[in-house]
Amino acid sequence: MITVNANAVDLSIESFGDDDAPLILLVGGTTMLSWPDALCERLAAGGRRVVRLDLRDSGGSTTSDPEAPAYTLRDLASDAAALARALDARPAHLAGIGVGGMVAQVAAIDHPGVFSALTLAGTRAVAPGPADDDLPDHDQAAMRQLFARPLPVWADREAVAQFAAAGAEILGDDPVAAHARSARIWDRTPDATPQVQMANQMGMVFSRLDCAPRWRERLSEIKIPTLVVHGRRDLFFPVGNGEAIAREIPGARLLVLKHAATAIPDSAANDIAEAMLVLG
């Protein structure tokens, strides 16, 4: 992993594949480890340079104050565009998952010449908070169970990993994979500070992020090939959100993962990679 300065911030990245191959930039939600190793390796084997990215206030990227971010969703989109330009002069395939998918949508709208293709995984077309009336909101029973739990001691690696595993079980994801991923995130968190852990583990920074103006009404402006990937069993952003994005971006393809929930399981890596590689 290395750090690249782009858009006047330091962004932590990890690369897979040949540096001269066409670029696929993976925006995490919030850390790069939201994108599983198996998928990154499969895309690299398909002849791509795969770069996954930590957003600000996560992993090894610039850390300020996750409880009071001094940047907006559009700044994060500009980070992705500036990083793509810094890594390759050619237009890049941009992919975003979860809240990273929101960043990717805005980046594709605001910086159309920078990107040649778009993949959106497990995300929705409106900002964190209440959904539009026509979009399915978070599963309320799961959310009550998820947020009723006492927070762990953020400086305790095992407690944080167990907390993540229990949350994954509530959401229908693999708790063993979540435990391992959380421990890796903890290991990559500078000084293991509680505030950064909160941003890394729960995406709390996004509940405080300025996401105005709305971008859903501009999805029709996206003219690049687009793939929308969504888990059929996703309780956090139910599949109707992915279906809406696929309807509203001209020509978008929808890939529904029958047995997946919120996280991308390793078992889906081949199917997703094949669909992404077709886009370019």
Tokens (6 digits) for 112: 């159309």
In eight-state DSSP terms, residue 133 is T
Sorted by sequence, the CB contacts under 8 Å of residue 191 that are 6+ apart come out as none
What's the mean pLDDT when you consider all of the chain? 92
- Is the confidence at residue 213, as pLDDT, over 70? yes
Q: Structural domains in the chain?
A: 2-137+203-279 (3.40.50.1820)
Q: What is the pLDDT of residue 69?
A: 80
Q: Is 43 left (phi over 0), alpha (psi -120 to 50) or beta?
A: alpha
In angstroms, the CA 242 to CA 102 distance is 12
In angstroms, the CA 89 to CA 234 distance is 36
Tokens (6 digits) for 243: 């279906």
Would you place residue 212 in the very low, low, confident or very high pLDDT band (cuts 50, 70, 90)? confident
Phi, psi of 243 (to 5 degrees): -60, -40
For residue 136, count CB atoms less than 10 angstroms from its CB and return exposed for 0-12, middle for 13-18, buried for 19 or more: middle
Give residue-wise pLDDT tens across range 196-207: 555 555 555 666
Q: What is the pLDDT of residue 244?
A: 98
- 120 to 28, 155, 191, 276: CA distances (angstroms): 11, 33, 32, 10
Give residue-wise pLDDT tens across range 46-80: 999 999 999 988 888 887 776 778 889 999 999 99
Give residue-wise pLDDT tens across range 220-235: 999 999 999 999 999 9
Tokens (6 digits) for 156: 């305790």
With the C-alpha atoms ordered 12, 14, 20, 21, is the resulting torsion angle positive or negative?
A: negative
In angstroms, the CA 86 to CA 83 distance is 5
